[in-house]
A and B are shown apart, each in its own frame.
Chain A
Amino acid sequence: MKELYAFMVLMWAMIIIGGGIAVVILGPISITGYGELDPTLTSVFKGGVAVLMVILWIYILSKIKGLIFKKIFLE
C-alpha cells in the first residue's frame, strides 16, 4: 500500500509545483500592442499554456502510474 501513499504525495507535490509555475511565471505575463484586444489575448494565451500544463501533468502521472502500479502486479 505504500506505493499508493507515495503516488498521493507525488500528486500533491505536482499540484504545488504546478501552482508555483502558474503564479510565478504565467501570472505576470501580459500581451501588449493590440489595443483593446490585449486582455483577451492575454487570457487566451494564459489559458492555452494552462491547458498544455494540465495535459503534461496527466501525461507524467500516467507514466508514473505505469511504473509504480505495474510493479505491484508483477510482484
Chain B
Amino acid sequence: MAPEYATDPVFLGVIAVLVSATAFATTYMLTSFLIKYLRKNGCTVPDSFKKEKTMVAHPGGPAIIAGVLASEAVLYGFLQETAILAVMAVSFIAFLIGLVDDKRPMGGWYKPLTLAGAAVAIILLGAYETNLTFPMFGNVSIPLLYMGVLVMMIVVTGNTVNSIDVLNGVASGYMAIAGTSLAICLVIVGNYDIAVATLPLIFVSLAFYKYHKFPSRIFPGDSGALVLGCMYGTIAIVGGVEVLAAIALLPAIINSFLFLSGVKQIVEYRKIKTKPTIITGDFKIKATRNLDALTSLLQIITAKAPMTERQVAGTILRLGVFSGILAIITAFLSGVRI
C-alpha cells in the first residue's frame, strides 16, 4: 500500500525525475565500463551484418539490470509498493536466466519454462488482480484463468523482445518506444505510480541504446533482452494494462508468431535450417524467396528490396511507434463503454 503523500502530483513528478536520472546514469556509466571489461576479457561475439569482421562486446545484461534495480530501489524507498518489488524480482530472475543462456546456449524449451518460473514471483508477492480489462467492454473476472494469463505474459514478453534482438539497436530502441507508450497508457488509465515505475524501463533502454545503436559497441545478450521484456510484462500485470501492453508490443509479437507458425515448434533461431534472410554481396539484408521459410519480420521487411541493417532497424522502430499509437488510442477507448 502506497503512503498517502504518493498521490501528490508534485511529489510524484520529483520522484519521476530522480528515478529516471538514476536509471539513465547507472546504465550509461556501467555500460561504458562493461564494454572495456568484456573486450579485455575476450567476451565478444561477431556482428553478422558488417563488411569487415567486427567483434562486439557481449552481454550487456549486467549494466541493464543494475540500472533497473538501482532506480526501482529508489522508487521503492519512496512508495513502498509490492508491485515495485515484483518488477525488481522478476527482472532479476530473468537476468539470471538470460546470463546462463549467454554463457552456455540452452535448448529451445529452456527460456519458456524458466521464465514461467520467474512469473511465480508475482504470484507469491500477490502483486496482481484477477480482472482483465478490455477497452470499450470493461472487465472480466477470471480468477483461475488469470494465473495462466500471468505466466504467459512473462513468457511471451521475455521471448518476443529477445527474438527482435537481431539487429544493432533494435531491442533497446524498441523497448524505449514500447515503454514510453506503456507509461502514457498508464497515465491515461490513472495508474500514476506504476507509470513512474515504467520510467526505469524507458531510461535504461535509452542509456543502453546509446552504445547499442548502429554500429553497436555492445549487445544486450539474452541477459539484457530478457530483463527488458520481462520487466515490461511485469509492469503490464501489476499495472492492470495487459491488453494495452500486448498492443504496444505487436511488431515483436508478429515476429514471434511468424517464427512459431513457420517452424511449428519451439526451437532456438540458430537451430533452424532454412534461414529467412541472406546477406547480399554489398552487405544488404535480402529475404529468401522460399515461402516455406516465412519465419521472421525481417524477411517481410526485406521482401520487396534488399535493405541495409540501418534501414531495417529504422523500419522496425517505426512499426514500434505505430503500435504504440494504437495502444494509446486503445487506452483512450478504455474510457468509452459500448
Assembly CA distance A20 to B303 (angstroms): 35
How many residues on A have C-beta within 8 angstroms of the other chain's C-beta atoms?
33
* CB <8 Å contact, A1 and B301: yes
* CB <8 Å contact, A69 and B300: yes
* CB <8 Å contact, A12 and B261: no
Binds A, one of B22-30, B37-45, B52-60, B142-150: B142-150
Interface assignment of B291: CB less than 8 Å from any CB of chain A? yes
- CB < 8 Å neighbour of A47 from B134, B148, B330: B148
Closest A residue to B253 by beta carbon equals A11
Assembly CA distance A13 to B123 (angstroms): 30
* CB <8 Å contact, A8 and B322: yes
Residues of chain A within 8 A (CB-CB) of B136 are 16, 20
Assembly CA distance A35 to B122 (angstroms): 32
Interface assignment of A9: CB less than 8 Å from any CB of chain B? yes
Closest A residue to B139 by beta carbon equals A23
Interface assignment of B326: CB less than 8 Å from any CB of chain A? yes
Interface assignment of B304: CB less than 8 Å from any CB of chain A? yes
* CB <8 Å contact, B141 and A72: no
How many residues on B have C-beta within 8 angstroms of the other chain's C-beta atoms?
41
Closest A residue to B144 by beta carbon equals A43
Interface assignment of B243: CB less than 8 Å from any CB of chain A? yes
Interface membership of chain B positions 319-338, coded 1 if the CB is closer than 8 angstroms to chain A and 0 otherwise: 10011001000100100001
Residues of chain A within 8 A (CB-CB) of B322 are 5, 8
Interface assignment of A36: CB less than 8 Å from any CB of chain B? no
Q: Which of B293-333 contact A (CB under 8 A)?
A: 294, 297, 300-301, 303-304, 315, 319, 322-323, 326, 330, 333
* CB <8 Å contact, B148 and A8: no
Residues of chain B within 8 A (CB-CB) of A72 are 300, 303-304
- CB < 8 Å neighbour of B140 from A15, A23, A40: A23
- CB < 8 Å neighbour of A73 from B139, B141, B142, B291: B291
* CB <8 Å contact, B247 and A62: no
Q: Is the interface of B mostly helix, strand, loop or mixed?
A: helix
Interface membership of chain A positions 7-46, coded 1 if the CB is closer than 8 angstroms to chain B and 0 otherwise: 1110110011001101110110000000000001001101
- CB < 8 Å neighbour of A8 from B134, B142, B251, B333: B251
Residues of chain A within 8 A (CB-CB) of B257 are 58, 61, 65
Residues of chain B within 8 A (CB-CB) of A22 are 132, 134, 137, 140
Residues of chain A within 8 A (CB-CB) of B231 are none
Q: How far is the CB of B255 from chain A (nearest CB, A)?
A: 11
* CB <8 Å contact, B250 and A12: yes
Assembly CA distance A4 to B142 (angstroms): 33
Interface assignment of B36: CB less than 8 Å from any CB of chain A? no
Assembly CA distance A1 to B304 (angstroms): 9
Q: How far is the CB of A44 from chain B (nearest CB, A)?
A: 8
Q: List 18 A-B contacts (CB under 8 A).
A: A1-B315, A7-B254, A8-B250, A8-B251, A8-B322, A11-B250, A12-B250, A12-B330, A16-B333, A19-B135, A23-B137, A44-B144, A47-B142, A47-B144, A50-B145, A65-B258, A70-B294, A73-B291
B residues with CB within 8 A of A? 132, 134-145, 148, 243, 246-247, 250-251, 253-254, 257-258, 261, 287, 289, 291, 294, 297, 300-301, 303-304, 315, 319, 322-323, 326, 330, 333, 338
Apart from A23-B139, A58-B257: 8 A-B pairs, beta carbons within 8 A: A8-B251, A16-B134, A16-B135, A19-B243, A47-B145, A61-B257, A62-B261, A70-B291
Smallest CB-CB A-B distances: 6 pairs: A19-B134, A23-B137, A43-B144, A27-B140, A47-B145, A20-B137
